[in-house]
A and B are shown apart, each in its own frame.
Chain A
Amino acid sequence: MNHLVIFTLWALNLLVDTAGQLAFKAAAIEEEEASLLAHWRHMLSRPWLWIGVGCFILEFVLWLAFLSVVPLSQGVLLGMMSIVLIMFGGKLWFNEHFTRLRVVGITLIVLGVALVGGAA
């Protein structure tokens, strides 16, 4: 399978996974309502939760497509890159902090993914 197809499917998976997780986070932190029911009703009436669900469904299909062009163990390892993107997203949109340990973790994952993908 040509490398462009593999790379495109990988990038799309990462994009959709990251977008979905950030959308769920945005849905979850909407202002707290008095009751759990009211909180859910509020979340359901706003787009974030639905964007998250849409991304999740899309990712399901994209993941199947990705796994049909790469071995499972490599696919799962390369997919770990989404953790890094989600962390950057969290920093950008939700002001989550990058502690030193997190920077170390992110760096190790990026290096690891580069090795798994690059040495294939």
Chain B
Amino acid sequence: MKISRRQFYIAGFLFLLVMDTFSQVCFKIAATHAEPFVASTEWLLRVVMDPWVYGSIVGYIGAFLIWMTMLREIPVGPAFAASHLEVIGVMIISVPLFGEHLNLLQYFGAALIVVGVGCLAYSEPKETDGSKHA
């Protein structure tokens, strides 16, 4: 099957977003399981023993592999945006999964952050340069 460059970009973006979101969700579940947080060895042990922590590591590795594959093909700017736009995935999934709700002002703030990341992504040099985000 032949896929176009455009399809490759979109698929890469989406995979990266899903992987990063998955990682964050695992982090949150592990953190919740390990509650209450106190700076202690007991807390650290509870974290390390929680299987969800390893889910977040799997997500990290997956995201890393996708990131490195994408960097070979696309400019670092869009890739940079994709690697930070998991905020959107996280905001969406946190509603049904954790019952989280932002207030109106916070949604406005989130929108500013997303546009800000977009600006930074667009401002990156157009050539592929993997060293910048090593």
| Interface, chain A (partner B; CB < 8 A) | 1, 24-25, 27-29, 61, 63-65, 67-69, 71-77, 80, 83, 87, 99, 101-102, 104-109, 111-116, 118-120
The residues in B between 8 and 38 inclusive whose CB is less than 8 angstroms from any CB of A are 24-25, 27-28, 30-32, 34-37
CB contacts (< 8 Å) of A111 on chain B: these are: 109, 112
Q: How many of chain B's residues touch chain A, expressed as a range? A: 35 or more
**In the complex, residue of chain B having the shortest beta-carbon distance to the beta carbon of A117:** B109
Contact A120 B123 (CB under 8 A): no
The count of A-to-B residue pairs whose CB atoms sit within 8 angstroms is 131
Selected from B94, B103, B132, B134, the residue in CB contact (under 8 A) with A72 is B94
| Interface, chain B (partner A; CB < 8 A) | 24-25, 27-28, 30-32, 34-37, 39, 43-44, 47, 53, 84, 86-87, 90-91, 94, 98, 100, 102-103, 105-106, 108-120, 122-123, 131-132, 134
Known: A68-B32, A68-B34. A113 touches B109 (CB 8 A): yes
For the complex with contacts A67-B27, A73-B102, A73-B110, 5 further pairs of A-B residues with Cβ separation under 8 Å are A68-B34, A73-B87, A76-B24, A101-B122, A105-B119
A10 and B116 CA atoms in complex are apart in Å by 20
Known: A68-B34, A76-B24. A115 touches B105 (CB 8 A): yes
Known: A119-B103, A120-B106. A109 touches B27 (CB 8 A): no
Contact B119 A101 (CB under 8 A): yes
**In the complex, residue of chain A having the shortest beta-carbon distance to the beta carbon of B44:** A61
Contact A115 B112 (CB under 8 A): yes
CB contacts (< 8 Å) of A102 on chain B: these are: 119-120, 123
CB contacts (< 8 Å) of B132 on chain A: these are: 25
Contact B115 A108 (CB under 8 A): yes
CB contacts (< 8 Å) of A99 on chain B: these are: 123
**In the complex, residue of chain A having the shortest beta-carbon distance to the beta carbon of B102:** A73
Contact B30 A109 (CB under 8 A): no
Contact B117 A73 (CB under 8 A): no
Contact B102 A109 (CB under 8 A): no
A119 and B114 CA atoms in complex are apart in Å by 17
9 closest Cβ contacts across the A-B interface?
A115-B109, A105-B119, A108-B116, A112-B112, A112-B113, A109-B116, A119-B105, A28-B134, A68-B31
